[in-house]
Chains A and B, each alone.
Chain A
Amino acid sequence: MSSSLAEGQPGRRALPAAAAVGAQGRPPRAPRRWAMTTQLTLLYTLCTGVLLGFASVLLYFALERGLMGEDRAFLAHKMQVLALILRRQPVDMAGVEQEVRDEAQLSARSQSPFFLRVLSSNGRLLAETPGMGALVSLGVFPRSSGTGDRQLICRMGGKTLLRGAMTVPAYGGGWTLHAALDIDSDIAHLHRYRWDVIALVVAGLLLAAALGAWIAHRGLRPIAAITRTTQRIGARHLEERLCAEAWPKELAALACEFDRMLDRLQEAFLRLSQFSADLAHELRTPINNLMGETQVILSRERTPATYARVLQSALEEHSRLARMIDSMLFLAQADQARLPLERTRVEARGELQAVAEFYQALAEEQRVALRCEGECAVEADALLVRRALSNLVSNALKYTPCGGCVTLRAARAQGAAVLSVSDSGIGIPPEHLAKIGQRFYRVDPARADGARGASLGLAIVRSIMALHGGDLAIESRPGAGTTASLIFPSPEGDSTVILRAPARQPT
């Protein structure tokens, strides 16, 4: 009965990803449950047992009622015939005795012998089937006997009898009829039937158990198959998917959900790998500069002024590294939702103006007009909002040519507060638009402008918006300009999003 699946316990032989949780992260083992095959088999067997048992009991009682009904009708009929003869005028006692004798002969040949007795109204025995007196005494019949429809089962002299009585009224007295039928053969019949039924139910149960086990095993085979496929998927084969095979309808949904989870995992995995590679690359440049410059300068004696110049240059590289580490730490903490948000009601206009004021001088130098428009209130962390806006404005100014303009706008749209920064700059080609918020992503790799950009600015904006349960939307038309919008959903809507972010362990 136990299939490989039942013994295999797919949950225990966990996915490779779960195995990476490690020794201390192992979740508490759930209490052991019965294998599904066993459960299903037991349920099948139970259902079959209930149905078979019910049907058998019903049939048994039907048979019993049928047999007894026949016997009763037979007995009633015999008494009716006698009554008919008795009622004949003039009274033909000889005929009655003849009838009783004939019936006795008939009864002797029958499998179920029956007995008849005729009494006068004062209780004198007029005629009886031979042997009846020994078997059924007079006393067991009640005196007033009625119509003969009420018949009782009793045991006498080692036999089971069905007995009845009937009063035949007549002018000047009348008669009482006694009748009894030996129903031993019927009882034996029912007895045999009972054992047959029990045997049938037991056999049915065994068969149902065997069939049930087979059906369960067969039905659960796709799960075993899914488990095997899942086991194949590891970090090296993350591109494998379950949906490629034809699963039964019920499992197809599971397989698709599983695939979707794998998609997300693969994406996160690739992004992480890419991030590490980019990080290493970004670190290589400043460290390379530091090492090279220092080695060259130490190769011979220099003037103090030269040493000072090299140290200053080194300091610039160090600041760049420090800034990058700062940004990375921020991103890492935001990813793990470990940055506590200090949400307050923020008047967006004030924030727009503060940021605009900060960039005013720079914008004037570049001959770019900086404007603020609109107002609305946002439930958010003021410092983070300012940081996001500042990154957007800094970006906008970088890509807006002389004579252009940058507009900071606050508005409400469909229940959400939207803070946007529009520029009349060079725009972003559509193929870059989707990747623009990714860490270290640059539209133009050659524009990696030295100490300025670690190109984490937009990634930080994205993280800030994720922390608020909001979103960063970027629209752009090459040559016409770009609009980056911070979308803060209404407070009722986003509280759930914040709760959703799990507190993960640092990796």
Chain B
Amino acid sequence: MRILIVEDEKKTAAFLCQGLSESGFLAEVAHDGEEGLQRALSRPYELLIVDAMLPRRDGWSLVTELRRQGKALPVLFLTARSAITDRVKGLELGADDYLVKPYAFVELLARVRALLRRRGEPITETIRIADLHIELLRQRAERAGNRIELAPKEFALLSLLASRSGQVLSRRVIAEEIWDIRFDCDSNVVDVAVRRLRRKIDDPFAVKLVHTVRGMGYVLEPR
């Protein structure tokens, strides 16, 4: 999947490009708004990551022009100012999502995947990872054929981690998806919740599925 990063700050562009490439995307960089617009119009990208403040043509103008020319590809906005007005402006002009600097790279990755997924991915009813089997509709989880009793929030957490298996999910993303806590809170609540989940899902088994990625978050995958 081709992603165009429009970002004038060299270091930012470089780590975004590297991070996305290593996550399996084809990432390219445009260093100013005008170049970004020309490339977005002339080549087939699946997603655009646009910084708000750009030389020659700012991010908002780029998105407006892009939409005016009939391009419907999803756009993720990056802005240094967390002023709500900026966010609203970005979304009104046709951006699909936004991130405020400083952001965690795992969060950016999660948003990119969410934006790409929005475009028609089949809804799965069951997930199978190694010997873990989850039935989403019936809210049942089994490991090696043994039924595991989970509280509703624990099941939600397991489903989230399993449905994005292999992706690191930050504590913030987890708090947002599971408890609808859409702000940063000084607490290790997520750590406690994951620890409890592990006690049921991993502790009795030799193969561990839930892993901590230090400084970033959690990932569910067979290792």
Contact = CB atoms under 8 A, between A and B. Distances in A.
A in complex with B: yes
Interface of A: 311-316, 318-319, 321-323, 325-327, 329-330, 333, 338-340, 354, 357-359, 361-362, 365, 383, 386-387, 390-391, 394, 397, 452-454, 457
26 contacts: A311-B215, A312-B214, A312-B215, A318-B102, A319-B215, A321-B102, A325-B102, A326-B102, A340-B85, A354-B179, A358-B175, A358-B181, A359-B189, A361-B189, A361-B192, A365-B192, A383-B182, A383-B183, A386-B181, A387-B183, A390-B183, A390-B185, A391-B185, A394-B186, A452-B187, A457-B186
A387 B83 CA distance: 18
Given A326-B102, A357-B153, A386-B183, 4 more contacts: A314-B215, A327-B184, A394-B186, A452-B186
Nearest to B154: A361
A394 B182 contact: no
Question: Lowest 3 A-B CB distances belong to which pairs?
Answer: A315-B215, A312-B214, A322-B102
B84 interface: yes
Interface in B164-221: 175, 179-189, 192-193, 196, 214-216
Contacts of B18: none
B23 interface: no
B168 to A, nearest CB: 12
Contact of A394 (B104, B187, B216): B187
Nearest to A315: B215
A361 B185 contact: no
B82 interface: yes
A452 B188 CA distance: 8
A157 to B, nearest CB: 98
B222 to A, nearest CB: 21
A309 to B, nearest CB: 8
Contact of A338 (B83, B175, B181, B188): B83
A37 B184 CA distance: 61
A394 B185 contact: yes
Nearest to A325: B102
B84 A339 contact: yes
Contacts of B102: 318, 321-322, 325-326
B186 A319 contact: no
A362 B215 contact: no
Given A312-B214, A457-B186, A333 B181 contact: no
B215 A340 contact: no
Interface of B: 82-85, 102-104, 153, 175, 179-189, 192-193, 196, 214-216
A289 B75 CA distance: 37
B186 to A, nearest CB: 5
Contacts, number: 75
A224 B16 CA distance: 64
Given A315-B214, A316-B215, A362 B187 contact: yes
Contacts of B188: 362, 452
Contacts of B184: 323, 326-327
A357 B187 CA distance: 14
Contacts of B181: 358, 386, 390
B187 A319 contact: no
B186 A359 contact: no
A318 B216 CA distance: 11
B145 to A, nearest CB: 27
Contacts of B189: 358-359, 361-362
Contact of A315 (B84, B103, B216): B216
Contacts of A397: 187
Contacts of A391: 185-186
Contacts of A394: 185-187
B207 to A, nearest CB: 23
A501 B96 CA distance: 32
B187 A329 contact: no
A276 B187 CA distance: 25
Given A319-B104, A383-B182, A359 B187 contact: yes
A458 to B, nearest CB: 11
Residue among B82, B83, B180, B185 facing the most chain A CB atoms (10 A cut-off) = B185
Contacts of A329: 82
Given A312-B215, A394-B187, A357 B84 contact: no
Contact of B83 (A314, A321, A333): A333
Given A322-B102, A339-B84, A365-B192, A358 B179 contact: yes
Nearest to A449: B186
A357 to B, nearest CB: 7
A322 B214 CA distance: 16
Contacts of B180: 354
A361 B102 CA distance: 29
A339 B82 CA distance: 10
Given A316-B215, A329-B82, A357 B185 contact: no
B92 to A, nearest CB: 14
B67 to A, nearest CB: 25
A132 B185 CA distance: 121
Contacts of A326: 82, 102, 184
Given A319-B104, A340-B84, A454 B186 contact: yes
Nearest to A309: B214
Nearest to B216: A315
A453 B182 contact: no
Contacts of A361: 153, 189, 192-193, 196
A453 B186 contact: yes
Contacts of B193: 361
A470 to B, nearest CB: 19
B188 to A, nearest CB: 7
B179 A357 contact: yes
A449 to B, nearest CB: 10
Contacts of A354: 179-180
B130 to A, nearest CB: 25
B205 to A, nearest CB: 21
A386 B153 CA distance: 18
A315 B185 CA distance: 18
Nearest to A327: B184
A365 B196 CA distance: 9
A326 B175 CA distance: 17
Contacts of A311: 215
Contacts of A325: 102
B173 to A, nearest CB: 13
